[in-house]
């Protein structure tokens, strides 16, 4: 586990969880939330992925209803790839997605932190950049608008990376029988991108091959550090 878990030195109020599919992010986030409830912490859970943020999803649903179901494809499909191959549609989609990502990370996260909430981010800017590279190519991640999003986004106080070898991730995925998995080559490329995060000093890297209680104990020590229990947690929508 990296010793540079929280280089800011501040109490961790914005916490991001990263890791390949089946590394246990959801399980560990749920455990952290339960710990916050026991301690009486105010907390907010935020799932972040470019193109799937709340306001942008609401806009997409509205446009689909307006234009008729089926006119605008959704989900990972050949029809969606063909729809977004159009230059102006692709550009509009990306820039609207960037706008909401900027709002979520630069405004909403900061507001929640200011109000005293611990913000648990399921993925963050780095994973969205991976999505851009894998789905739209390297140039999408070099767009000026995306660089602005990265520059203005709130910086997590604690970045947790659950590290899992690719083959183990693939094995768990098969056992889990995920309904819409990425193809293996795309998974390999994503795993390589995660490997670059492990080299960064601002990530706390935890071996996701350990058993669940061991991982939870390490995360508790990073997030709380005082061993306190009791109370009633507060979860909000904002």
Give me the CATH number covering residue 192: 3.40.50.300
pLDDT at position 180 is 67
In terms of C-beta density within 10 A (0-12 exposed, 13-18 middle, 19 or more buried), how is residue 208 classed? buried
Q: Is residue 98 part of a domain?
A: yes
Q: Say how many domains are in the chain.
A: 1
Range of the domain at 229: 14-235
Alpha helices in the chain, H assignment, sequence order: 25-39, 54-67, 78-83, 87-102, 109-114, 125-136, 138-141, 144-152, 166-176, 184-197, 212-223
pLDDT at position 50 is 95
Q: Is residue 8 part of a domain?
A: no
Q: Is residue 90 part of a domain?
A: yes
Q: Can you tell me which residue has the tokens 């390490």? A: 218
What are the backbone angles phi and psi of residue 63, rounded to the nearest 5°?
A: -65, -40
pLDDT at position 90 is 85
Q: Is residue 165 part of a domain?
A: yes
pLDDT at position 2 is 46
36, 142 contact by CB (below 8 A): no
**Alpha carbon 186 to chain centroid distance?**
18
pTM over 0.75: yes
Q: Is residue 197 part of a domain?
A: yes
- Sheet order of strands, 118-122 included: 203-207, 158-163, 14-19, 118-122, 42-47, 234-235
Q: Which parts of the chain have pLDDT scores under 70?
A: 1-10, 68-86, 179-180, 226-238
Rg over alpha carbons for the chain, rounded to the nearest Å, is 18
pLDDT at position 22 is 92
Q: Is residue 159 part of a domain?
A: yes
For 61, what's the count of Cα atoms within 13 Å in the CB-facing half-sphere? 7
pLDDT at position 83 is 56
pLDDT at position 228 is 40
Q: Is residue 75 part of a domain?
A: yes
pLDDT at position 177 is 78
Q: Is residue 9 part of a domain?
A: no
């Amino acid at each position: 586990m990296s010793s540079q878990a929280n280089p800011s030195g501040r109490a961790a109020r914005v916490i991001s969880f990263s890791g390949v599919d089946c590394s246990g992010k959801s399980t560990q986030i749920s455990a952290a939330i339960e710990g916050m409830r026991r301690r009486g912490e105010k907390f907010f859970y935020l799932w972040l992925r470019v193109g799937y943020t709340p306001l942008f999803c609401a806009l997409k649903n509205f446009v689909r209803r307006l234009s008729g179901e089926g006119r605008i494809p959704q989900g990972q499909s050949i029809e969606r790839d063909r729809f977004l191959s159009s230059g102006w549609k692709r550009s509009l989609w990306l820039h609207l997605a960037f706008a909401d990502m900027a709002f979520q990370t630069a405004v909403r996260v900061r507001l929640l932190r200011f109000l005293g909430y611990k913000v648990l981010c399921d993925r963050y800017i780095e994973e969205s950049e991976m999505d851009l590279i894998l789905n739209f190519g390297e140039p999408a991640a070099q767009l000026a608008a995306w660089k602005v999003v990265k520059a203005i986004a709130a910086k997590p106080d604690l970045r947790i990376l659950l590290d899992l070898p690719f083959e183990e991730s693939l094995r768990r995925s098969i056992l889990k029988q995920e309904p819409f998995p990425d193809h293996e080559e795309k998974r390999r490329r994503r795993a390589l991108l995660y490997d670059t995060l492990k080299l960064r000093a601002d990530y706390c890297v935890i071996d996701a091959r350990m058993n669940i209680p061991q991982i939870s104990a390490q995360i508790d020590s990073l997030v709380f550090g005082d061993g306190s229990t009791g109370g009633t947690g507060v979860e909000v929508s904002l």
